[in-house]
Amino acid sequence: MASSVACLHAASSIQAQGFKGSSTGSPNKIGAFPLRMVLKGFSLDVPLPERKGNCPRSLNLHVVRSSSSQSSIADPIELPSNSNSTDSQKKSTEASLILIRHGESLWNEKNLFTGCVDVPLTKKGVEEAIEAGKRIRNIPIDMIYTSSLIRAQMTAMLVMSEHRRRKVPIIIHKETEEAQRWSQIYSEETKMQSIPVITAWQLNERMYGELQGLNKQETAELFGKEKVHEWRRSYDVPPPNGESLEMCAERSVTYFRDQIVPQLLAGKNVMIAAHGNSLRSIIMYLDKLTSQEVIKLELSTGIPMLYILKNGKFIRRGSPIAPSEAGVYAYSRSLALYRQKLDKLEEMFE
Amino acid sequence: MASAATCLHATSSIQAQGSKHVFPLQMVSKGFSLDMQLRAKRKNFPASLKLHAVHASSSHSSIADPIEVPSNNNSGDSEKKSTEASLILIRHGESLWNEKNLFTGCVDVPLTKKGVEEAIQAGKRISNIPIDMIYTSSLIRAQMTAMLAISEHRRKKVPIIIHNENEQAQKWSQIYSEETKKQSIPVITAWQLNERMYGELQGLNKQETAELFGKEKVHEWRRSYDVPPPNGESLEMCAERAVAYFRDQIVPQLLAGKNVMIAAHGNSLRSIIMYLDKLTSQEVIDLELSTGIPMLYIFKNGMFVRRGSPIPPSEAGVYAYTRAAATQHLDGFSLKLRKLHHNCIFQCLD
């Protein structure tokens, strides 16, 4: 554990408790104690080791991520601690990937099976999207992918309305030649200030076939409780005329691999706003989960999940903390530097 | 005037002041006033109010035709069911490019936080007006406006976006419960309701456009009826496809008694208003529909009657205003109609 350290710039949101005086009652001594942030179903363990002499104002953090009831562990960050490294490292192979599951929809509220029926968000779902946006306002985003359903698209737009960078998300229209022509932008500078938003049915929620629109009670009466449970919780048994989780995973992971990974490899920071099943399929791919593990995986609504793609590997960074909460902000050096730049920019305009 | 009475169901927002007397009510808003008379309560007429509605615009000469319905004491719901339907028009609020002063046209730019607020406020104003179908454009700012406005609606039916783009989309979005379908409001997206396409000006800021093309040219494109910007639409072209769609797709619904809401854009909506109010091309150029303020029309006996803008619930009643109260309530919208054909009967208060 001692060898893998990440040297991070101290960000203002880190409340360095016990830095100058710890709860143990011995001032000026920094003890090692683990910080534990527990989020809905996801926890982040950050032990603070003793302060080393030659590391100036930065904290040495050893970050290990574990999920609570799930069996996957992402690899710890391996960065050569190099005080002189600048942006060049970031430019090489690092990119952020944010996953956001949309919040409450009007049929969630009514307890109806939704699937691919295009139902919008409730007021609560709108709130959840705004809150999610606050959590990721400092993480760079160059491209957005979303499904063809309005609840995911609205979530993406509301999230971006909180973003600090002020680039404008623009939905790309390619459904017909006319749509493409009609939505053309004629200013290069404006294009540079845009974040393309690509809608893809492959990121849609799992299609629930003949259960769509039925409430959970009448479905149990119609088909029997065990059958319904099997459709909902198995990996490869589809409801009548619907998709199994396996089928959903196949089309969403294929899309992710073919369309989104190349963007990340090119260094683009990507956000995906989608649905429970399409996102857990992608997480299954990122974290190399088994089908048994993915069934138990629950991604919280409205809480963004951050991954870093580095040197071809996906590292789960957990869920960015809301601004009012104490905790670690910088998940990597480049993100810390990025945030510094944003801070400077804001100062200039104040 | 005595014979013209309309039977409307009393809703909670009508303050039935002095229902036993006849007195003129005048609602004055910025440039628009609504005259109503509450007739004496007839004996056999249960709890509903009879309203005689006459509209006048302030300094402008237009009057929508008064409603002519045979006053029938025994009339119950049957009168309403015959040929009356509500039509609500909502222009979306501030978009991210409005904020940046860029020509938007058909580029798919989302709402700002202010635009989101405007949609919610608009929704509060129409929360009591029945809606059976929603039409919107293919651009997210109008779709979000529709969804946010409906989230305030009292009726609690669920808007569902219809997907007809291909066979799979149609199949995947099917609902399998009749009762759920009955509790749904179909939302139809149509490119024909899109904003006027601004061609080579899309994405340019208003300043650089003036530098590139010259101030007068730009003014001509923006304010003429039939001169399109390069590779773009004139207002005439926009009106052609928007009104054709309205006539062919939406009017039949109104004729069938369906209450319709259209959430769209400045130019597509003013084109429709030009059709509803029989404006000339000169008049429509001067027409400005306020953002986020719903405009209500009643479709009755094949005629469109403009009802103005519903008042938000926090203010006194929708249709029943005393003269005194009216002068205090200046609704924030500005519907400017100049030199209209209709006769001006009532004096307009400023």
**Domain match, B30 and B134 both:** no
Residue B278 counted as domain residue: yes
**What span, in angstroms and rounded, lies between the C-alpha atoms of A37 and A317?**
13
Tell me the C-alpha distance between B97 and A193, whole Å: 11
Q: Which residue of A has its CA nearest to B107?
A: A183
- Band of pLDDT at residue A349, cut at 50, 70 and 90: low
pLDDT at B55: 36
Question: Cα(B296)–Cα(B306) distance, rounded to whole angstroms?
Answer: 6
Q: Per the domain annotation, does B237 fall within a domain?
A: yes
Q: Mean pLDDT across chain A, nearest whole number?
A: 77
Q: Specify which of A215-224, B40-49, B334-343 reaches the highest per-range mean pLDDT.
A: A215-224
B221 is in an annotated binding site: no
| Complex-level ipTM | 0.72
Q: Do residues B164 and B100 share a domain?
A: yes
Sort residue B192 into left (φ over 0), alpha (ψ -120 to 50) or beta. alpha
Q: What average pLDDT score do residues B229-243 get?
A: 96
A307-331: pLDDT as tens digits: 999 998 999 988 776 665 555 555 6
Say whether B76 counts as a known binding-site residue: no
Tens of pLDDT, residues A147-163: 999 999 999 999 999 88
Q: In the predicted model, is pLDDT for residue B96 greater than 70?
A: yes
B138/A173 Cβ within 8 A: yes
Q: Where does A40-148 show beta strands of DSSP type E?
A: 42-48, 59-61, 64-67, 94-101, 143-146
Find out whether B195 is annotated in a ligand binding site: yes
Contact B164, A175 (CB under 8 A): no
The answer to whether position B65 is within a domain reads no
In this predicted structure, what is the pLDDT of residue A296? 87
Q: Which two tokens stand for residue A32?
A: 């090692």
Kindly indicate the confidence band of residue A85, based on its pLDDT and cuts at 50, 70 and 90.
very low
Other Cβ atoms less than 10 A from the Cβ of A159: the count is 29
Assess whether B97 and B245 both reside in one domain: yes
Say yes or no: B107 and B190 in one domain. yes
Compute φ and ψ for A21, nearest 5 degrees: -165, 120
Residue of A nearest to B168 (CA): A201
Q: How far apart are CA A235 and CA B289, in angstroms?
A: 52
- In this prediction, residue A308 carries a pLDDT of 94
pLDDT given for residue A337 in this prediction: 78
CATH number at residue B163: 3.40.50.1240
Q: What is the mean pLDDT of residues B12-33?
A: 36
Q: Is the pLDDT of residue B81 over 80?
A: no
On whether both B210 and B340 belong to a single domain, the answer is no
Instruction: Assess if residue B84 is contained within a domain.
Output: yes
pLDDT score of B124: 94
Q: Which residues of B touch A169 (CB under 8 A)?
A: 96, 109-110
- Concerning whether B341 is annotated as a catalytic residue, the answer is no
Q: Are residues B92 and B31 in the same domain?
A: no
Q: Which of A118, A123, A171 sits opposite B173 (nearest CB)?
A: A118
* B214 and B322 part of one domain: no
B202 and A186 in contact by Cβ < 8 A? yes
pLDDT above 50 for B127: yes
Distance CA B66, CA B346 (A): 13
Asked if residue B206 belongs to a known ligand binding site, the reply is: yes
Task: Express each pLDDT in A173-214 by its tens digit.
Answer: 998 999 999 999 999 999 999 999 999 999 999 999 999 999
Whether A187 and B203 lie within 8 Å, measured CB to CB: yes
Q: Which of A63-67, B63-67, B307-311 has the largest mean confidence?
A: B307-311
Do the Cβ atoms of B176 and A213 come within 8 Å? yes
Residues B247 and B151 in one domain: yes
Which of A108, A190, A197 to mutate: most B Cβ within 10 Å? A190
Residue B249 lies in a domain: yes
User: Are both B47 and B144 inside the same structural domain?
Assistant: no
This prediction's pTM: 0.72
Kindly list the distances between the CA atom of residue B83 and the CA atoms of B40, B80, B302, in Å, as whole numbers in the listed order: 25, 7, 7
B173 and B274, same domain (yes or no): yes
| Whether the predicted pLDDT of B224 surpasses 70 | yes
Q: Which of A164-168, B123-127, B220-224, B342-346 has the highest mean pLDDT?
A: B123-127
> Cβ(B268)–Cβ(B88) under 8 Å?
no
> In terms of residue numbers, what domain contains B230?
70-301
In a domain, B64, yes or no: no
Query: Are residues B230 and B343 both part of a single domain?
Result: no
Distance CA B304, CA B307 (A): 9
What's the pLDDT tens digit per position in A221-245? Answer: 989 999 998 988 899 999 999 999 9
Does the distance separating the beta carbons of A150 and B107 come in below 8 Å?
A: no
Q: Is the pLDDT of residue B27 over 70?
A: no
- Determine, yes or no, domain membership for B311: no
**C-alpha separations of B169 from A207, B3, B72, B102, B174 in Å:** 11, 52, 49, 34, 9
pLDDT above 90 covers what percent of chain B? Answer: 54
Q: Average per-residue pLDDT in chain B?
A: 74
At residue B26, the pLDDT reads 36
Q: Above 80 in pLDDT, residue B345? A: no
| B308 within a domain of the structure (yes/no) | no
For position A71, what pLDDT does the model report? Answer: 34
Closest alpha carbon to A298 in A315, A327, A276: A276
- In tens, the pLDDT along B272-288 reads 999 999 999 999 998 88
Query: What is the domain count for chain B?
Result: 2
In this structure, the answer to whether residues B145 and B12 fall within a common structural domain is no
Chain B's closest residue to A154, CA to CA, is: B144
Give the model confidence (pLDDT) of B147-170 as tens digits.
999 999 987 899 999 999 999 999
How distant is the Cα of A235 from the closest Cα of chain B, in angstroms?
20
